[in-house]
Chain A
Amino acid sequence: MSEALFGSELDAMVTRYLEELNDALRRLPSSKRDHLISEIREHIVEMRAERPVRDRSDMEALLNRVGLPEDIAAVALEDVEDTGELADEAGPPIVAPAESRFLGGRVSKRTFMIGTAAAAIVLFGLFVGVAVGSHRGQAVFGIVRSGSSVRPVLIQPAPPAAIREAVPNVIGENPAEAAATLSAAGLTFSVDNASSTTTPIGVVVSQNPPAGSFVPSRRQVTIVVSTGPQSTTS
């Protein structure tokens, strides 16, 4: 592999990390978000200048040292929540994802924050669902139709971000069940796919953090959904 190609692969890891950070910071006003991301980007540049990153595992160690996007976002959002200056805009509309995208295994690395999509697929198999989530620090719910947008309805204040939640087990559930379980526990999630010879298509194979961990509210849990026995990596 040429050095240039290798370098671009490492740059892509940084880009992906910053995208995840941007996603985690969605509730921050955009000027603050851009400012923070540019600082983290500069920090990574300095780290790379200080100690050359030779391969993927070096880069993973570096990004690990910078910290999980959710952890950085938790500090940033906590500071902003203290002063009550969350993003004025309502953010992207809450769109209920069509369940076929989950079943078909075409949703890869797609992240749904609570309040933007999470429990919209609670009523799995129907076109109508209930979205429960958090909007500008408040708990909201709404009736949604698959693919439609919804205006959030206020029910009660959401607990502060610092409160820690126990991660429930979602292994063996389908993505819709897992989404409902995780949002009920005050957590967000992202979906990844992996082939499995032992777990049927469309069933959660693994999760991270594991069940029983204590994590901050709205922490993202990655669920890995089986795409069946076919291998994509051989």
Chain B
Amino acid sequence: MQYMVQSRAPQLAQMRKGALEYCVLALLRDGERYGFELVRELSNAELVTSEGTIYPLLSRLRADGAVETSWRESTQGPPRRYYKLTAEGKASLDFFAVEWQRFCQAVNGILAVGAGQ
């Protein structure tokens, strides 16, 4: 049984990873944030355990044109790299938000049927 649970873990990890990308975009909807702030929010929400894994994701989002970055001076410590949602990123997020709702409803519906029988 333990093996079965473990063998499913990569699929869950893939789902989590797919959703995580949009959680990053959602955190940027109300304004720019710097990397550490983003990671800390996701970490506090228990969406990530290895905080460092967010940075490759941010790089990818930047390469895809969903976010853009700029350097800002910090009142304490070194300058910080701020991330900002682009129009493209915003469109992608809006699309996901609708699809995600539909997906959740559909899955919940099926899970409820299964549990009722």
Chain A residues close to B by CB (< 8 Å): 21, 32, 35-36, 39-40, 42-43, 45-47, 49, 65-68, 71-72, 75-76, 79, 83, 162-164, 214
Closest to A47 in B: B36
Q: Which residues of A contact B35 (CB under 8 A)?
A: 39, 42-43
Find out whether the CB atom of B53 lies under 8 angstroms from the CB atom of A72: yes
Q: Which residues of B contact A76 (CB under 8 A)?
A: 56, 59
Given the known interface contacts A75-B57, A162-B14, A164-B10, the answer about A45 and B77 at a Cβ–Cβ threshold of 8 Å is yes
CA gap between A163 and B11 in the complex, in Å: 11
Chain B residues close to A by CB (< 8 Å): 6-7, 9-10, 14, 17, 35-36, 39, 43, 49-53, 55-60, 63, 76-78, 80-81
Given the known interface contacts A46-B77, A66-B50, the answer about A40 and B59 at a Cβ–Cβ threshold of 8 Å is no
Q: Which residues of B contact A79 (CB under 8 A)?
A: 56-57, 59-60
Q: Which residues of A contact B9 (CB under 8 A)?
A: 164, 214
Interface of B is mostly: helix
Find out whether the CB atom of A32 lies under 8 angstroms from the CB atom of B59: yes
Find out whether the CB atom of B56 lies under 8 angstroms from the CB atom of A71: no
10 tightest A-B contacts by CB?
Answer: A67-B50, A76-B56, A46-B36, A67-B52, A72-B52, A66-B52, A75-B56, A39-B55, A79-B60, A75-B53
Q: Which residues of B contact A72 (CB under 8 A)?
A: 50, 52-53, 55-56
Given the known interface contacts A36-B56, A76-B56, the answer about A68 and B77 at a Cβ–Cβ threshold of 8 Å is no
Q: Which residues of A contact B10 (CB under 8 A)?
A: 162-164
CA gap between A72 and B53 in the complex, in Å: 5
Of B39, B49, B77, B81, the contact of A49 (CB 8 Å cutoff)? B77
CA gap between A162 and B9 in the complex, in Å: 11
Find out whether the CB atom of B59 lies under 8 angstroms from the CB atom of A42: no
Q: Which residues of A contact B58 (CB under 8 A)?
A: 39
Q: Which residues of A contact B63 (CB under 8 A)?
A: 83
CA gap between A173 and B9 in the complex, in Å: 31
Closest to B56 in A: A76
Closest to A164 in B: B10
For B17, B36, B63, the residue with the greatest tally of chain A CB atoms inside 10 Å of its CB is B36
For B17, B53, B55, B78, the residue with the greatest tally of chain A CB atoms inside 10 Å of its CB is B55
Find out whether the CB atom of A42 lies under 8 angstroms from the CB atom of B56: no
Q: Which residues of A contact B55 (CB under 8 A)?
A: 36, 39-40, 43, 72
Q: Which residues of B contact A47 (CB under 8 A)?
A: 36
For the complex formed, measure the closest distance between the CB of A165 and the CB atoms of chain B, giving whole angstroms: 11
CA gap between A72 and B52 in the complex, in Å: 6
Find out whether the CB atom of A40 lies under 8 angstroms from the CB atom of B52: yes
Closest to B57 in A: A75
Closest to A82 in B: B60
CA gap between A65 and B77 in the complex, in Å: 21
CA gap between A157 and B48 in the complex, in Å: 31
CA gap between A68 and B39 in the complex, in Å: 16
Q: Which residues of B contact A36 (CB under 8 A)?
A: 55-56, 59
CA gap between A214 and B2 in the complex, in Å: 11
